[in-house]
Structure 1
């Protein structure tokens, strides 16, 4: 009798666990199933994140970026758009600083590379101005202007990449231009969803 019970115990526990999961219970603390948080501020997945990134060219990275912010769990669409614009600005500033530091290095990397980095320095200086203008337009609810400035920032990064190609210096900046363009593109996708959202 005891042997039969022991043999059936794993099966019985499995059925109980499946019932608990189906009823919305997760985790077992001290042998007691705990009801998971549903539809409240502790819910880990904000459904607006999927909606915000629905039309993004780089959808997966868009979602992952937004989910990396703790405040995104309870954010509305405007907050999600702001988070993306702000992190894109931070990335642009990081790249601009990196390029500036490279140019200040006393050791020349060759005329072609030096010229390419000088061009990139100018492009990212302009791009940072565009991102500032984007944020000003964003807080004025001028989403068409955000689109204009962000599109121009993308062109700045693309011009930098062209200069690197001409100077045979593509490897110098690694994937920084690609990352910046991707962030700008994703930010634009989220802003466009916001613009289409009825108040």
Structure 2
């Protein structure tokens, strides 16, 4: 009886759309209609900073997300979104630097942020190479490193009690990188050291305060 029950439970698990989708990922795999919603539910559960609506809206803005190769495909899409966001943020920074009324400290903060996001784009390019070669160890290292662009940029403003003009951009970039980390964790066999560590939990609590962007803005 125990064996029958175990087999029945295992069968239900294997038939879950998320598991079925990932068991057949490949160039020609077709995602279920709810693959984005299911994936974002998991992402939001694993990361207290990541907003579910932001995740869904971001992924669904890319048409290929509906036919992505499971978690693997969505991981690539999330990395591309992070790269695009960093590029857009650089454009915003360059535009703000044209403001002749900026005080010296804010100007230096923006210059630092410009360098940070420029480096982040290069790091995310390495991350893209890593995911395509299934090198999840380096992928986690590089995406985590890229995320520091957002936190370090915000720290610069915070140190002088300045209001960051890049708060929303930094929050979005951090979340997009976080999405990539969670999603690629779902296709890797690595221990969940990134999300289970106490340090990670404490750091996210700090980031929630630092990126105190209203939820209605995040979902827009």
Deviations 1:43-102 (A, max 9, x none): 982336513651344333223322222222222222211111101110011102221332
Query: Are the counterparts in 1 of residues 36 and 65 from structure 2 also a CA contact under 8 Å?
Result: no
Task: Give the structure-1-normalised TM-score.
Answer: 0.69
Determine the C-alpha separation between the residues in 1 that align with 2:86 and 2:39.
25
Give the alignment partner of residue 69 of structure 1, picking from 55, 62, 74: 62
Give the alignment partner of residue 142 of structure 1, picking from 131, 135, 142: 135
Unmatched 5+ residue regions in structure 2? 1-28, 45-49, 191-220
Query: Are the counterparts in 2 of residues 93 and 128 from structure 1 also a CA contact under 8 Å?
Result: yes
Matched, 1:51 2:39: yes
Deviations 1:13-56 (A, max 9, x none): xxxxxxxxxxxxxxxxxxxxxxxxxxxx9998233651365134
1:23 corresponds to which residue? none
Query: Are the counterparts in 2 of residues 46 and 72 from structure 1 also a CA contact under 8 Å?
Result: no
Unmatched 5+ residue regions in structure 1? 1-40
Query: Are the counterparts in 2 of residues 143 and 191 from structure 1 also a CA contact under 8 Å?
Result: yes
Determine the C-alpha separation between the residues in 1 that align with 2:53 and 2:99.
40
Give the alignment partner of residue 190 of structure 1, picking from 183, 186, 189: 183
1:128 corresponds to which residue? 121
- Aligned residue for 1:136, secondary structure, equals helix
1:87 corresponds to which residue? 81
1:165 corresponds to which residue? 158
- Aligned residue for 1:170, secondary structure, equals coil
Query: Are the counterparts in 2 of residues 66 and 72 from structure 1 also a CA contact under 8 Å?
Result: yes
Offset of residue 167 of structure 1:
3.8
Task: Give the structure-2-normalised TM-score.
Answer: 0.63
Matched, 1:176 2:164: no
Relative distance call for 1:83 and 1:53 in structure 2 (3 A) is: farther
| Bigger proportion of residues as strand | 1
Determine the C-alpha separation between the residues in 2 that align with 1:47 and 1:120.
35
Relative distance call for 1:116 and 1:42 in structure 2 (3 A) is: closer
- Aligned residue for 2:188, secondary structure, equals helix
The number of residues matched between the two structures is: 156
Deviation beyond 4 Å, 4+ runs, structure 1 = 41-44
Determine the C-alpha separation between the residues in 1 that align with 2:126 and 2:157.
26
